[in-house]
Amino acid sequence: MKAIGTAAVTAQVVLVVAGAPLLAGTMRQVRARMEGRAGPGVVQPWRDLRKLLRKEAITPIGTGPAFRVAPLLLVATTAVVAALVPLASTVTPVSGSADLILVVALLALGTVALALAGLDTGTAFGGMGASREMTVAALVEPTILLAVFALSIPTGSTNLSAIVSGGIHDPVRLASPAGLLATAALAVAVLAETGRLPVDNPSTHLELTMVHEAMVLEYAGPDLALVELGAQMRLAVLLGLLASLSAPWGIATTASPAALALALVLLTAKVALLGSALAAAEVFWAKLRLFRVPELLAGSFLLALLAVTASYFLTGE
């Protein structure tokens, strides 16, 4: 029984580590196709990573341990989140402590590490990126936690396995207005957290607009590889979390290898589908001005607040 659980956890982590670049590749491919371009192919991100990993490791003058530890911490936090979140199965040895607040905090820890690395370089870009990233992160925090609050009301606890298995057994809860509002708020928060289009353009180098990119401008070689991998893993994990919260069918609730295999396949399908949908939508979105982002986040905060109060008023406790 425990072996299956550990197998599920390792499978999840391996799938996330290996699948994240592929997910990024598929999203870029979908986007290229819709813009009429041929696109570099789904495996291109792996090729970039391999190229970067073989490059020479460099340390900019005047930077300290924060600059060198940040990429490692980014990947580590995302890996731990991947282990905790019940992407494939809710019955794992770590599902007991898979607390949604812990997950949100770990992601925030990765962001803080990267911001500190940006400041450590002492260049204008690093400082600007860090300052904007921390502003956005600070404004996203209330939305995410209120969405967590909304999701935890039906099950009475913030434990992810409980929420997901609750969702599987009682699907009507997911379609309820509270569930929908919470998922919408969470979706906007995920966009802000991973730095996707309306908040930040991941593929830009224009210093006026870039937020995430500015912090990692000084990285090169293996460190840059880790940063890229970390960003892609974060996107994959968050999309997986969104999928398991809003569409939990297929996640193994029993400790049988067959269910686990099926869950893994379904997980990849769901995440790929969600990724391409996001890529397709990004074609039509333009990046918001930095000081209009708070309005977007305020809107998502309102959605989350309505989600919480709606669930109270509707269920009439």
Partner 1 sequence: MKGAETAAVLAVGLAGAGALSGALLPRRARVIAVGLCTAGLGGAGLTAGLMASGGGRWSAHLPGLLPMAGVYLAVDALSGLFMAVAGAVVLAVAVYGIGYAGGDHARGVASRGVQAALPLFALTLVLVPAAASVSTFLLLWEAMALTSLLLVLADQRDRASVREAGVWYAVMTHLGLVLLLAGMALFAACAGGETFTALRAGASGMSPAARGTVFVLVAAAFASKAGMVPLHPWLPRAHPEAPSNVSALMSAAMVNLGAYGIVRVAFDLLGGAPRWGWLLVLAAGALSAVYGILQAAMASDLKRLLAYSTSENLGLVLIGVGAAGLFASSGYPVPAALALAAALLHVANHAVFKALLFCAAGSVVRATGLRDLDRMGGLRARMPATAGFFTVAALGAIALPPGNGFLSEWLLLQSLINGLTVPGISTAIVLPLAVAVIALSAGLAAAVFVKALGVGFFARPRSAEAAAATESPPGMLIGMGLLAVGCTGLALVPGMLGDGLSRAVAVAGLGSGPTLSGDGFELRLDRLAASMSPLWVAAALTAGLLAAAALIRITARRGRRANVKLWDCGGGAPTARMSYTATSFAEPLQRVFDDVLAPEQDVNVTPLRESAYLVERVRFQSRIPDRIEHRVYRPVLAAVTGLGQSARRLATGSVHLYLGYGFFGLVAVLLALAVGW
CA-based nearest residue to 248, from 159, 171, 158, 137? 171
Q: Please report how close the Cβ of residue 155 comes to partner 1 at its closest, in angstroms.
A: 9
Q: Please report how close the Cβ of residue 134 comes to partner 1 at its closest, in angstroms.
A: 4
The CA-based dihedral angle spanning residues 283, 286, 287, 291, taken in that order and rounded to the nearest 10 degrees: -150
Q: Please report how close the Cβ of residue 283 comes to partner 1 at its closest, in angstroms.
A: 28
Residue 28 to residue 224: CA distance in whole angstroms: 19
Residue 46 to residue 54: CA distance in whole angstroms: 12
Number of chain positions touching partner 1 (CB under 8 A): 87
Query: In this chain, which of 162, 184, 199, 303 binds partner 1, going by CB under 8 A?
Result: 162
Q: Which of residues 200-229 bind partner 1 (CB under 8 A)?
A: 217-218, 221-223, 225-226
Tokens of 76: 């580590």
Q: Please report how close the Cβ of residue 96 comes to partner 1 at its closest, in angstroms.
A: 7
Give one DSSP letter per residue of 206-244, joined into a string.
-TTT-SHHHHTTT--HHHHHHHHHHHHHHHHHHHHHHHH
Pinpoint the alpha helices (H) of 35-55: 44-54
Q: Do residues 7 and 255 make contact, with C-beta atoms less than 8 angstroms apart?
A: no
Instruction: Please classify residue 66 by burial: count the beta carbons closer than 10 Å to its beta carbon, then call 0-12 exposed, 13-18 middle and 19+ buried.
Output: middle
Tokens of 180: 């929908």
Among residues 69 and 255, whose Cβ is nearest to partner 1? 69
Q: Which of residues 277-306 bind partner 1 (CB under 8 A)?
A: 290-291, 294, 301, 305
Among residues 40 and 122, whose Cβ is nearest to partner 1? 122
Tokens of 200: 């930040």
Among residues 200 and 218, whose Cβ is nearest to partner 1? 218
Residue 72 binds partner 1, judged by CB under 8 A: yes
Calculate the alpha carbon distances from 210 to 3, 25, 113, 166, 191 in Å. Answer: 45, 21, 18, 40, 15
Radius of gyration over every alpha carbon of the chain, rounded to an integer in angstroms: 19
Residue 317 binds partner 1, judged by CB under 8 A: yes
Query: In this chain, which of 35, 38, 156, 206 binds partner 1, going by CB under 8 A?
Result: 156
CA-based nearest residue to 199, from 98, 75, 105, 285? 285
Q: Please report how close the Cβ of residue 72 comes to partner 1 at its closest, in angstroms.
A: 4
Tokens of 210: 């870039």
Residue 89 binds partner 1, judged by CB under 8 A: no
Instruction: Measure CA 248 to chain center.
Output: 17
Among residues 75 and 88, whose Cβ is nearest to partner 1? 75
Q: Please report how close the Cβ of residue 59 comes to partner 1 at its closest, in angstroms.
A: 5
Q: Which of residues 2-61 bind partner 1 (CB under 8 A)?
A: 50, 53-61
Residue 312 binds partner 1, judged by CB under 8 A: yes
Q: Please report how close the Cβ of residue 219 comes to partner 1 at its closest, in angstroms.
A: 11
Among residues 112 and 247, whose Cβ is nearest to partner 1? 112
Q: Which of residues 95-154 bind partner 1 (CB under 8 A)?
A: 96-97, 99, 101-102, 105-106, 108-109, 112, 115-116, 118-124, 126-128, 130-132, 134-135, 137-142, 144-146, 148-149, 152-153
Tokens of 139: 């404004």
Q: Please report how close the Cβ of residue 112 comes to partner 1 at its closest, in angstroms.
A: 6
Residue 158 binds partner 1, judged by CB under 8 A: yes
